[in-house]
Amino acid sequence: MAIEVLLDGDAVPIEEAVFRELLDNSVAGTYKGFEKALGSGRIKFQDLLWLADKGEIPYSLFFAPYELVQDQVKKKSEKLLAGLSKDTFSIGSRSKVHLRDVELIVKDLIRKQELVRKHDKSLQRNKIVGVLRDAGSSVEADAGRLMSAIGLTHESLRACRTKDKALEMMIERLEANQVLVSRSVQHYMPQRLTHVQFSGLTIRDNKVPYIFLAGGDHRDDQETAGRTIFTLALLTVLIARRIFAPMTWDGGTAALEPGREYDIAGAMLMPGERFLALGPRSLNDMHNASETFKVTPSAATVRAMRLGIINPATANEYLGEFREEFRSRPKGGPRNQIRPENAVNKYNGRELNRRMLDALDERSISPGEFCRAVCLNHLKPSQIDDLRRVLR
């Protein structure tokens, strides 16, 4: 099979396998021009150049033998994905994530890590990476050590008026310690996640490790803000234990052994001594505990079970009740469309944007390159000041 490249009335065939291989492994594979060319079997040369530019692909590779293209893609992927294990890290879940489902996002975030390291010479070796490499005397001790390293206190989290405020505080403390935090924003990422269910991932770097928080429906029927807070705590524990991988966790079941990482995250958000003093036992108690500790009722229930306050049978009964409660909630109406500068800020993370804007101001990077490499062309040079206003 071939794709015809049209130039000045002539048609030059290229291998469809080559066309697919190059674009399937790049950001450009998400653009309509790719699917249109596959459907029609032809593409204008100018459109091919446009896709090559979007995907950072030397256009001459489209005319190379398939074996050479495969080798080039493999080498590039091995280099880019060196910061991520291909194994899914599952906590209380049998779900798996295929790397191809999140590969373009991983590649983009790794490129951003390389970009900020290149342009920001003030970066120091990260103090959070590996801080829990050696297990402490207890889960509570590990949680305390990690909270201290981040500069986060239980009191400050509980003082937050809402779970959304608590989430923002956690992100702020992580970014203050050179841990970049990216959040899923459909249509502003190089890859759509509508068919993928996973919690998030951690990407290796000795200076600026990245946390990516996946949005959407995880099918464990829990409210979003509390679940995201626990996910962020779990991913922070993984970085502290030098575990870099996609992660899945099921917060709606007590059937599987969640493991030490889950318990450390639980102790970070729901410290054992205070949780035991509160002693939640009833359904209503779990709701109240979830508001106190800024987690979901399900997370409070599993924590109560892990601390021996309730037994597994009661925990499973409560978890089933919470699932039904969540499913019976009225569904929200259509969401307001997010402004481009807010979307770029959410996906990249404030700290990455702040450091790269500093590089722009120092003329280490051009406005055009900033819009392409940092904003994936979702902002034009004339809109950069809109991003600055978001960061103020």
Instruction: Give 31's pLDDT tier (boundaries 50, 70, 90).
Output: confident
* Three-class DSSP category at 170: helix
358's CB contacts (< 8 A; 6+ apart) are 120
pTM of the shown model: 0.81
210, 260, 367 from 171: Cα distances, Å: 12, 22, 27
End-to-end CA distance of the chain: 53
CA distance 46 to 356: 31
Instruction: Give 310's pLDDT tier (boundaries 50, 70, 90).
Output: very high
CA distance 311 to 148: 32
Strand 246-249 with 200-203, pairing = antiparallel
CA 340 to chain centre: 19
Average of per-residue pLDDT across 3-29: 89
HSE, CB side, 13 Å, CA atoms: give it for residue 253: 14
Instruction: Give 293's pLDDT tier (boundaries 50, 70, 90).
Output: very high
CA distance 239 to 206: 10
Compute the mean pLDDT over every residue in the chain, rounded to the nearest whole number: 89
Strand 210-213 with 200-203, pairing = antiparallel
Question: Do residues 191 and 102 touch, judged by C-beta distance below 8 A?
Answer: yes
Which range has the top average pLDDT, 7-16, 104-113, 167-176, 237-246?
167-176
